[in-house]
């Protein structure tokens, strides 16, 4: 069993708020992140998969294929987008880093299975001071 991690990046706008809150309530709970006119981040995404090394290639997975899966199913949907308004898998959810990590996991997992590997961790870095890791429902 070995783990391999691929980093990809995306830049996006978002806002933390609840429609059933007033602007004042949103400010109290979400602080500056509730700004109604949006703000944004350079997000870093680290996707870790695990499994056995394929003796024929020396690879756990072909990183080009893993990178393509992440770009096709996640980066394409998030990069240079507004997470609240334009990202289908984030509709009806607060656009927090926590929900983003879970949402990305759900987008990726079906496609990782085709690689003879298992999705192990989705890590989303929002800033140099904050990041979230999600290991799926069954782990931990």
Binding site for its own copies (CB under 8 A): 1-9, 11-14, 16, 18, 29-33, 35, 37-42, 48, 50, 53, 56-60, 62-64, 67, 79-82, 85-86, 93-99, 101-102, 127-135, 139-140
Q: Are strands 2-14 and 81-82 parallel, antiparallel or unpaired?
A: parallel
The DSSP letter of residue 80 is: T
Return the structure tokens found at 123. 């890590």
Is 120 among the catalytic positions?
no
Query: 66 CB contacts (<8 Å, ≥6 apart)?
Result: 4, 6, 47, 49, 112, 115
Provide the minimum distance between the beta carbon of 68 and its own copies in the complex, in angstroms, as a whole number.
Answer: 12
DSSP string, 62-104: -HHHHHHHHIIIIIHHHTTEEHHHH-GGGTTS---HHHHHHHH
Provide the minimum distance between the beta carbon of 111 and its own copies in the complex, in angstroms, as a whole number.
Answer: 18
Compare residues 98 and 116 and give the one whose CB is closer to its own copies: 98
Is 88 among the catalytic positions?
no
Return the structure tokens found at 75. 């980066």
Provide the minimum distance between the beta carbon of 72 and its own copies in the complex, in angstroms, as a whole number.
Answer: 16
The catalytic position among 44, 109, 118, 126 is: 126
The catalytic position among 33, 44, 86, 109 is: 33
Catalytic residues, by residue number, are 33, 80, 126
């Amino acid at each position: 069993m070995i783990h391999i991690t691929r980093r990809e990046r995306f830049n996006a706008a978002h806002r933390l708020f609840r429609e059933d809150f007033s602007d004042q309530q949103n400010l109290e709970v979400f602080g500056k992140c509730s700004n109604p006119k949006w703000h944004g981040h350079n997000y870093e995404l680290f996707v870790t998969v695990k499994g056995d090394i394929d003796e024929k290639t020396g690879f756990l997975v072909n990183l080009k294929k893993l990178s393509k899966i992440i770009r096709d199913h996640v980066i394409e949907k998030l990069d240079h987008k507004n997470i609240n308004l334009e990202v289908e898998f984030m509709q009806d959810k607060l656009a927090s880093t926590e929900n983003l990590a879970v949402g990305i996991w759900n987008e990726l997992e079906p496609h990782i299975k085709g690689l003879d590997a298992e999705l192990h961790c989705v890590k989303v870095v929002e800033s140099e001071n904050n990041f979230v890791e999600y290991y799926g429902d069954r782990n931990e």
